């Protein structure tokens, strides 16, 4: 069950990771996606129903599985105040997430003087499908140093591609068509990620990949002309 505005901004989510229960909770000190998550090992067993209660009250987070408290954490009392308006999704309706492998029999939310079962027909209006396209495009700037490092490595990986494109035939491909070809390859790789769940692309990656390809093309042509001039020089 997820309360989120998109793939990267999750206020609250409980899900399964093999036999573990994993819970994301946006709070002071976490990222926009509620990470690092809380993990309770060995909650789910094959062919067996499991009851999970998650309680967030007065700065305390408690997770119970089949009536036993499996996790208890102290949080700041203003944790839910960082939540934004989002959409509730159940099971395989989650934006960008893999489907819940089992069956959800009851999903009930209780607040003071109010309770609703979201599985009961009519209790929750679920669209026939969610627009998944925006969730394939990563935010800018990249989240954290790892995102920037990944983008930089993507740029470096396209420098050899520029070499290969220019030298793919004899005579070598000229700089302008070679550069356009590397840009087209970067765009094609980015578009291909839309066909797979859990894969995302970013405009920054496309720009840096194109820049890496252009750098490889220019370096290759400089090397070619340098060798050509050396061969023509009088001995």
**pLDDT at residue 162 is higher than 80:** yes
SS3 of 172, please? coil
Phi, psi of 111, deg, nearest 5: -130, 170
Clarify whether residues 221 and 184 are in a common domain.
Answer: yes
Q: Which of 65, 100, 130 is the last residue of a domain?
A: 130
Which residues, 6 or more positions from 109, have their beta carbon under 8 angstroms from its beta carbon? 115, 116, 118
Clarify whether residues 28 and 121 are in a common domain.
Answer: yes
More confident residue, 188 or 117: 188
CA angle 175, 178, 182 (to 5 degrees): 130
- Model pLDDT, residue 106: 77
Clarify whether residues 45 and 152 are in a common domain.
Answer: no
More confident residue, 118 or 188: 188
Stated pTM of the model: 0.59
Among residues 43, 33, 35, which one has the least CA distance to residue 3? 33
Clarify whether residues 45 and 144 are in a common domain.
Answer: no
Can you give the C-alpha Rg of the chain in angstroms? 25
**pLDDT at residue 89 is higher than 90:** no
Q: Tell me the pLDDT tens digit for each residue of 183-204.
A: 999 989 888 877 776 677 778 8
- The total domain count for the chain is 2
Clarify whether residues 123 and 47 are in a common domain.
Answer: yes
Q: Which of 105, 130, 155 is the last residue of a domain?
A: 130
Confidence label for 95 from pLDDT (cuts 50, 70 and 90): very low
Confidence label for 134 from pLDDT (cuts 50, 70 and 90): low
Clarify whether residues 114 and 146 are in a common domain.
Answer: no
Domain that holds residue 186: 137-232
**pLDDT at residue 178 is higher than 80:** yes
Confidence label for 170 from pLDDT (cuts 50, 70 and 90): confident
> What is the mean predicted confidence (pLDDT) over 223-229?
79
Clarify whether residues 7 and 121 are in a common domain.
Answer: yes
SS3 of 174, please? coil
Q: How many CB atoms neighbour CB 67 within 10 A?
A: 7
Q: How distant, in Å, are the alpha carbons of 31, 59, 60, 82, 190 from that of 77?
A: 18, 4, 8, 11, 42
Highest mean pLDDT among 124-133, 181-190, 199-208: 181-190
Cα(60)–Cα(108) distance, rounded to whole angstroms?
19
Clarify whether residues 177 and 117 are in a common domain.
Answer: no
Clarify whether residues 163 and 86 are in a common domain.
Answer: no
Clarify whether residues 73 and 162 are in a common domain.
Answer: no
| Per-chain mean pLDDT for the chain | 79
Q: How distant, in Å, are the alpha carbons of 67, 197, 223 from that of 40?
A: 14, 25, 57
**pLDDT at residue 147 is higher than 70:** yes
Clarify whether residues 143 and 203 are in a common domain.
Answer: yes
Q: Which residue has the tokens 């990944």?
A: 150
Clarify whether residues 186 and 116 are in a common domain.
Answer: no
Q: Which of 130, 162, 194 is the last residue of a domain?
A: 130
């Amino acid at each position: 069950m997820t309360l989120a505005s998109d793939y990267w901004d999750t206020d609250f989510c409980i899900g399964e990771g093999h036999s573990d229960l994993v819970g994301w909770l946006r709070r002071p000190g976490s990222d926009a996606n509620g990470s690092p998550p809380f993990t309770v090992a060995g909650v789910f067993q094959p062919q067996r129903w499991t009851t999970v209660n998650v309680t967030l009250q007065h700065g305390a987070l408690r997770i119970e599985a089949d009536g036993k408290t499996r996790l208890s954490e102290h949080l700041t009392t203003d944790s839910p105040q960082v939540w934004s308006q989002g959409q509730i999704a159940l099971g395989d309706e989650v934006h960008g997430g893999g489907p819940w492998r089992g069956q959800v029999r009851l999903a009930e939310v209780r607040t003071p003087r109010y309770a609703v079962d979201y599985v009961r027909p009519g209790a929750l209006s679920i669209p026939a499908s969610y627009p998944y396209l925006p969730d394939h495009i990563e935010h800018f700037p990249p989240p954290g140093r790892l995102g920037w490092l990944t983008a930089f490595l993507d740029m470096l990986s396209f420098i050899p591609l520029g070499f290969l494109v220019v030298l793919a035939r004899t005579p070598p491909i000229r700089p302008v068509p070679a550069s356009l070809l590397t840009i087209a390859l970067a765009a094609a790789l980015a578009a291909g990620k839309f066909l797979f769940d859990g894969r995302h692309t970013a405009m920054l990656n496309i720009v840096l990949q194109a820049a890496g390809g252009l750098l490889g093309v220019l370096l290759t042509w400089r090397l070619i002309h340098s060798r050509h001039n050396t061969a023509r020089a009088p001995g």
